[in-house]
Amino acid sequence: MYSWHSYDLSDIILIVLKNGGELKLLPKHIENVIVPPIKCQGIKTKLVNFIANNVVWDGEGRWIEPFLGSGVVLFNIQPERALISDKNEHIINFYKGIQSGYINPISAREFLEYHGERLNSIGEDYYYQMRDEFNEAKDPLHFLFLSRACFNGVMRFSKKGKFNVPFCKKPDRFRPAYVTKIVNQIDKVSRAMLGRDWVFQACDWRETIQQAAEGDFIYIDPPYIGRSTGYIGDWEQDEANELAQYARTSPAGFALSMWKQNKYRVNTHIEEAWGGLEMREFNHFYHVGSSEDLRNAMIEALIIKDGYYTEQPVQAEEVSVDEDD
């Protein structure tokens, strides 16, 4: 005869441990990938499961990200403790705004509906008015508006730190369904943060990596070498080499995401700076325009420190994600 007992998560953890089980945060499969509310170049939405399925980490220490970007990997891995940074203060301030409750589904909906109606009635000039207001006051809700109303979702700042991306030429950008989609994304990110010890800081990547300790795990997603990223400034070969040295000498585990090869060239920096480490590959496609003819193949590399990767490579399927236009 069977009896039914109701267990909460802590009970289940104890049962696993008492029976000799080994509890790990990673690897894991993510069924429903959370798409962040902020758009950003190089977003890893389609690669989240590839990363999560190939890394081994018990989750006991802190998850550390020195290049947060959109935050898509963080919000899907959902560690209990995290140290998160980015050189771009606006990204950090936006997610701090969600963490504090300043940005929530209600405040975001009210803001986007009101200013979306103004944009639709006034047109392009209103976008530039909002851009000027953001560059003066740096309000994170203005940042959200610009991220969703600028050309192609590009995040770019001038050398003086001013957001300078032009209008997307769609005055009716904030239609009801689009606003609801953004609001739902904010809600999911807010729920991912709930009850977790996540520290967000705007600083240089060196400062963040230097705080890593044994038991921590660093996820590294740096910009492309030799390309002005627009949102954190230039990223050159010398700094990329320095990053490799910082990671290799850190007591923490780490994984690095970096493009390996496309139809035009091979990334020689991988072998030069990261050679000798485990490398997993993910084949996917990227678009440089709306036409199917502009769909190009890309090999993405995940470079992982010894002791932090699965026994066999896992080529997770590319997840079909509606990242919106």
Q: Is residue 100 part of a domain?
A: no
Q: Is residue 34 part of a domain?
A: yes
- Choose among 130, 96, 92: nearest CA to 111: 130
Q: Give the phi and the psi of residue 144 in degrees, each rounded to 5.
A: -60, -45
Q: Is residue 73 part of a domain?
A: yes
Overall average pLDDT of the 2-18 stretch? 35
Q: Is residue 325 part of a domain?
A: no
Give the burial class of 273: count Cβ atoms within 10 A of its Cβ; 0-12 exposed, 13-18 middle, 19 or more buried.
Answer: buried
pLDDT score at 221: 96
Whether 265 and 232 map to the same domain: the answer is yes
Indicate the helix (H) or strand (E) that contains 177: helix 176-193
Q: Is residue 175 part of a domain?
A: yes
Whether 207 and 295 map to the same domain: the answer is yes
Tokens of 125: 């000039």
Tokens of 195: 């009850």
d(CA 212, CA 177): 42
Range of the domain at 269: 26-87+203-304
- Choose among 72, 63, 59, 66: nearest CA to 30: 72
- In this predicted model, what pLDDT tens digit does every residue of 248-258 receive, in sequence order? 999 999 999 99
21 pLDDT more than 90: no
pLDDT score at 19: 38
pLDDT score at 24: 85
pLDDT score at 231: 60
For residues 12, 13, 17 and 21, what is the CA-based torsion angle, rounded to 10 degrees? 80
Beta pairing, strands 63-65 & 81-86 = parallel
Whether 81 and 115 map to the same domain: the answer is no
Q: Is residue 261 part of a domain?
A: yes
Strand spans (E) along 204-274: 217-220, 227-228, 234-235, 253-262
285 pLDDT more than 60: yes
- Choose among 191, 188, 274: nearest CA to 225: 274
Whether 238 and 173 map to the same domain: the answer is no
The CATH number of the domain where 152 resides is what? Answer: 1.10.1020.10
Q: Give the phi and the psi of residue 151 in degrees, each rounded to 5.
A: -65, 120
d(CA 156, CA 79): 29
pLDDT score at 194: 97
The CATH number of the domain where 30 resides is what? Answer: 3.40.50.150
Overall average pLDDT of the 104-116 stretch? 98
Q: Is residue 197 part of a domain?
A: no
Whether 216 and 258 map to the same domain: the answer is yes
Largest CA distance in the chain: 73
d(CA 27, CA 50): 10
Q: Is 148 helix (H, G, I), strand (E, B) or coil?
A: helix
Please count the structural domains in the chain: 2
Average pLDDT of the residues of the chain? 88
Whether 109 and 257 map to the same domain: the answer is no
Residue with tokens 């005869």: 1
- Choose among 64, 235, 88, 216: nearest CA to 163: 88
C-alpha 108, offset from chain centre: 20
Whether 152 and 64 map to the same domain: the answer is no
- In this predicted model, what pLDDT tens digit does every residue of 178-234 receive, in sequence order? 999 999 999 999 999 999 999 999 999 999 999 999 999 999 999 988 655 566 668
Name the domain boundary from 181, 214, 237.
Answer: 181
pTM of the model: 0.89
Triad 174, 321, 290: Cα angle to 5°: 70
